[in-house]
Chains A and B, each alone.
Chain A
Amino acid sequence: MSSLSEQMEHTFRLRNLKSYCMLAMIVLAFVVSALPLFAVFAHIIKLGFSALNFDFFTKLPAPVGESGGGLANALLGTAILVGIASVIGIPWGVSIGIYLSEYGKSKTASVVRFCVDMLVSIPSIVVGLFIYELIVIPMKGFSANAGGVALSILMIPTIARTTEEILKLIPAHVREAGLGLGIPRWKVTLFIIVRGSLMPISTGVILAISRVAGETAPLLFTALSSRFWFDGFNKPIASLSVQIFNYAISPFEDWQSQAWGGALLLVLFVFVVNLSVRILLLRTNTSKGKQI
């Protein structure tokens, strides 16, 4: 009898030991996964900070072989490209999101939803190739427009998806209340449902913008790059991400250092946007919770 209970005691101890080991592995796995983030941050801050100076934000790139110069045209270029992408992508993406959430039970809607899912995960370089065929070849040249459209195609599915998710959270009785008052369905959708969720929808939009701001692959052969100021929408345009790429693979130390500076700006931008969106959402959620 005693030997049996001893045996149980023994296996129990072993099981407990194994449990603790596995839990330790789980914690370790998280630490290892998170490590690259800190490593990347540390190196970018260390190597990028010294490259940031007044010239960096105000001057054009210096000619090959000369030191100094800045990335001002690339900063402006990224802003313009993202601007074009937003003008096309935001209305399109939001309306698809509204359609999927409010009229999303039909067969057509599920086909659309499938396509949105597929487009979210399409490689961005394939989108670049598509725009090259669609716009660059017929227009006979690389252009800011082509780059902007390529970015907008990356934005649309992301925005559509978040908008749908957000609108789905609104309980059905809100819609029923509106309809019960005799308000037409499109008005209920636009002025009650969408208006009430404007804040979370716009945070989704901002996140999508911050994501495309760092995209490089689709710009390589649509917007190309430029060493000069913005020169019209049908001309090649510089962008921060492409400039980082070009400088990173260049043999000049000065350029490499500027690439780190650009990377620091890009990562800071993404980080600040993500953090503030999170804080903003958290605050509205808690204040709403208090009201109810």
Chain B
Amino acid sequence: MPLLLIGIGGFLLNASLPSIHQFGFDFLGTKIWDPARDNYGILAFVFGTLISSLIAILIAAPLSIFTALFLTEVASRRLQKSASFIIEMLAAIPSVVYGLWGIYVLAPFLRVYVEPFLGKTLGFLPLFQGPSYGVGMLAAGIILSIMIIPTITAVTKEVFLSIPNSYREAAMALGATRWEVIKMAVIKTGSAGILGAVILGLGRALGETMAVTMVIGNRSDISISLFAPGQSMSSVIANEYSEATSSLHISALLEIGLVLFLITFFINSLARVFVWRASLRGSTR
């Protein structure tokens, strides 16, 4: 198993050496991606990945935390079972199906209703300016948020379940209302675990490929508007791999894979530390 992990890293590193030699750190810092002239920089893709994941987290984190609260603190036992199943099914739907739905249902919906509305009400912000295409950063962020809600919810749920009931009873005995019990005993105690869960969701969002490729619009440019099409690190790999001809192009795509691998590795280790600490605290007390 460790060999497999090291092997993945090693192979990617080895294969991306030509591109690393050629471009050095400029690879990360420039936004010109020009296969015709064999000149590669991935800043635009890093930007696309970060922004779409950030949108996803902003939508998914509050929804997931509240959903986990619903499952553990509010719902009755029977309701909890079927409600959990519904949320788990969200994770079971293949990403390509989300992409299909994103292209033909979500993107037109955004183009016709949501984006013009946002443009009208919040149009003074540069975030919400420009023509609405439907596909773009916003669509990618929303699809990603749907896909990471089950991840964050599941981990947060575990964290909440590990909090001893005596905490809740203590808060109740102080005369707290139901919300105050949740706030004092559940959210505050589980905050480290919640953070870990959100980071875990971020890790998933960063590496997600198919659904993002299908709805992000695939234009390698940096634009401040959320309506504008973009390109993420994983989507550029998926789009260009089978057509890459020059060896430097392939090497550059592999280097993107390497960067993606390192980022997700780092993010997931971080999440593990938080979740591990939270569950440890829950079990010892």
Contact = CB atoms under 8 A, between A and B. Distances in A.
B195 to A, nearest CB: 16
The DSSP consensus for interface residues of chain A is helix
Contacts of B98: 40
Contacts of A274: 85, 88-89, 92
B214 A249 contact: yes
Interface string B144-185: 001001000100000000000000000000000111101000
A177 interface: no
B140 to A, nearest CB: 15
Interface residues of A, number: 74
Most chain B CB within 10 A, of A32, A210, A248, is at A248
A199 interface: no
A198 interface: no
A248 B214 contact: yes
A245 B213 CA distance: 10
A123 B2 contact: no
A211 B94 CA distance: 7
A245 B180 CA distance: 48
Contacts of A176: none
A87 interface: no
Contacts of B90: 33-34, 36-37
B89 A37 contact: yes
A112 B99 contact: no
A125 B257 contact: yes
10 closest A-B pairs (Cβ-Cβ)? A123-B207, A214-B94, A29-B66, A19-B177, A19-B179, A217-B209, A129-B257, A22-B179, A30-B70, A125-B209
Interface of A: 15-16, 18-23, 25-30, 32-34, 36-37, 39-40, 43-44, 47, 96, 111-112, 114-119, 121-127, 129-130, 132-134, 153, 156-157, 160, 210-211, 213-217, 220-221, 224, 241, 244-245, 248-249, 256, 259-260, 263, 266-267, 270-271, 274, 278
